[in-house]
Chains A and B, each alone.
Chain A
Amino acid sequence: MNDKSRRELELAACEVRRGIIEATHAAKSGHPGGSLSAADMFTYLYLRELRVDPAEPEAPWRDRFVLSKGHTAPGLYAVLALRGFFPREALLTLRHTGSILQGHPSLGITPGVDMSTGSLGQGISAAVGMALGGKLSGADWRVYALLGDGEIQEGEVWEAFMSAAHFGLSNLCVIIDSNRLQIDGEVAKVMSPYPIDAKMRAFGFGVCTIDGHSFDDMERAFAEARACSDRPFCIIMNTVKGKGVSFMENNASWHGKATNDEQTAAALAEIAAKRAELEEVAQ
């Protein structure tokens, strides 16, 4: 990846992070921690990887994205707004009465959302069903599903993984956001799913582990995923929960609460500083 492309993505990720903080602050609730850990992935997916058209959000030829870790909807909404699926102002209506932005992704309510999710473990099954349909119809679109490392404690997830490999769903790319924290604390201490890579290999997936904050890693990983023609592929991304807002980083207490006014100002200042730094380097 060249410097220009990387910088463009880094700047866009700042916008996604700003959207996450502003939306959850306006909602006075929501899940910033896991939205921020996946913010770089949301950015890469919607700016580089997914074939989608904001003017035609239900185009039959589009790639599908299922946010199986549905509580991180603010991250998805922020990137959908950035990509032009709906006006950015809508972010400030998150979780409000009558908003197109429900607390968790809702099919038919938000342009660009491909499946209702939020109850952990179900999104990946829905993605398996989509990929199965894609295979059956001979379509060339692909299905992407993003899960949390806490989410994979759900038994249904492993039913879904088993079926994805069994049905040979090479059009399915699973991404696991391994930020190592869940509501009650460290994933490893609450109920360890590790090692995830060995489990995914054993379940019949092609696997690669990346730094979830490196766009170069993502570019390589998705190329590998697309080249994997005989089995589903899993990208495990090591991330920092709360990434980009220093007081939230690696702190489980920011899983599911919004910043107050003061914290919001501090978070937005930090994101703005990062942005200014990137712009300065660009000039």
Chain B
Amino acid sequence: MSERKATREGYGDTLAQLGREHPDIVVFDADLSGATYTSRFAAVCPERFFDFGIAEANMVAAAGGMSTVGYVPFVSSFAMFATGRAYEQVRNTVGYPHLNVKVCASHAGISVGEDGASHQCCEDIALMRSIPGMTVICPSDYIEACAAVRAAYEYRGPVYMRLGRYAVPVINDRPDYSFELGKGIQMRDGSDVTVVATGLLVASALEAAETLATEGISVRVINIHTIKPLDEEIILRAARETGKILTAEEHSVIGGLGEAVCSLLSEKLPTTVHRLGVQDVYGHSASAAVLLHEFGMDGEGVAAAVRRLVNG
């Protein structure tokens, strides 16, 4: 786990590769192409890169229009603006007509760090999940982000992809890694409890599982990179086999992965679930590492949450 890379970088690198392969890809940004890494696409396909300036609503709805004339727009900004400011454009001009637009937003979650609460979007999964027909993806590392961008291109329909600013551990660097939309990945087997995690919390969960193994607690770790549609089967199996579930996400506990898992289990297999996430509060300025520790989202924090669940 020594190498660290941001998921946004995987997005930019893959866009640049895909752009050369597929002339129907166009990329829109709203004056953040350096931060979202769409600049890497712009460098190789400048004629298909469009900067819309600081005007996210227009950018998102224009992507809807452009998708109807034979192009596949990838639209980027920060998660706060792409899903917050432009929520209704995503809902009405991308979602309702079920258009082939990929909204790929960086700087999601508290790990934005020093910019503080105004830029730390912890509500984007909730917003995007609520739109009928929207696929919601949150890659756990650089490698998964690369695979997810390809999968999003190959899938026909609206996609929201949540990307992070912070360089996170590369955890999927193995020859048998494969990404399938809507399919969770069991990262580690365990019998006492399951951590169902998404995004950078998958690495934290793996770290916690190592620690807890030395304490005699056997932790299964599931990576849910596609939050919608949710892989129900892998979660139901974990609930049956390990009994207790901890969900873990760098997002509000309202409307995110935790709530999706609770909805599933309460209807199909009532199970004790604890939700690790942002507890209905705003973040603040600090380094990403400090914030992740404060919000209990590093390995130590996940381990503590598992102990509370197992011993409580």
Chain A nearest CB: distance from B29 CB in Å? 13
Q: Give the residues in chain B near A126, CB-CB below 8 Å.
A: 61-62, 64-65, 68, 93
B26, A136: Cβ atoms closer than 8 Å: yes
Query: Which residue of B53, B57, B63, B69 contacts A156 across the interface (Cβ within 8 Å)?
Result: B57
Docked Cα-Cα span, A137 to B68, in Å, equals 13
B96, A132: Cβ atoms closer than 8 Å: no
A60, B61: Cβ atoms closer than 8 Å: no
Q: Give the residues in chain A near B65, CB-CB below 8 Å.
A: 66, 115, 125-133
Q: Give the residues in chain B near A137, CB-CB below 8 Å.
A: 69-70
Interface of A is mostly: helix
B66, A125: Cβ atoms closer than 8 Å: no
A153 at the interface (CB under 8 A from B): no
Is the interface on chain B under 10, 10 to 19, 20 to 34, or 35 or more residues?
20 to 34
B5 at the interface (CB under 8 A from A): no
Q: Which residues 47-70 in A have Cβ within 8 Å of B in the complex?
A: 60, 64, 66
With A60-B70, A132-B66, A167-B50 known as contacts, the answer to whether A125 contacts B92 (CB < 8 A) is no
Q: Give the residues in chain A near B58, CB-CB below 8 Å.
A: 125, 128, 156, 159-160, 162-163
Chain A nearest CB: distance from B239 CB in Å? 38
With A130-B68, A133-B66, A136-B26 known as contacts, the answer to whether A107 contacts B97 (CB < 8 A) is yes
Q: Which residues 94-118 in A have Cβ within 8 Å of B in the complex?
A: 106-108, 114-116, 118
Is the interface on chain A under 10, 10 to 19, 20 to 34, or 35 or more residues?
35 or more
Interface of B is mostly: helix
B284 at the interface (CB under 8 A from A): no
CB-CB nearest in chain A for B48: A136
With A107-B68, A125-B89 known as contacts, the answer to whether A116 contacts B96 (CB < 8 A) is yes
Which B residues are closer than 8 A to A by beta carbons?
Answer: 26, 47-48, 50, 52-53, 55, 57-71, 73, 88-89, 92-93, 96-99
Which A residues are closer than 8 A to B by beta carbons?
Answer: 60, 64, 66, 106-108, 114-116, 118-119, 121-123, 125-134, 136-137, 139, 155-156, 159-160, 162-163, 166-167
27 pairs, A vs B, C-beta closer than 8 Å: A115-B64, A115-B93, A116-B96, A119-B93, A122-B57, A122-B64, A122-B88, A122-B92, A125-B59, A125-B61, A125-B62, A125-B93, A129-B67, A130-B65, A130-B66, A130-B68, A132-B62, A133-B70, A134-B69, A137-B69, A156-B55, A156-B57, A156-B89, A159-B52, A162-B53, A163-B53, A163-B55
Given A106-B97, A116-B93, A130-B65; 6 other pairs, CB 8 A cutoff: A125-B64, A129-B63, A133-B71, A136-B48, A139-B69, A167-B50
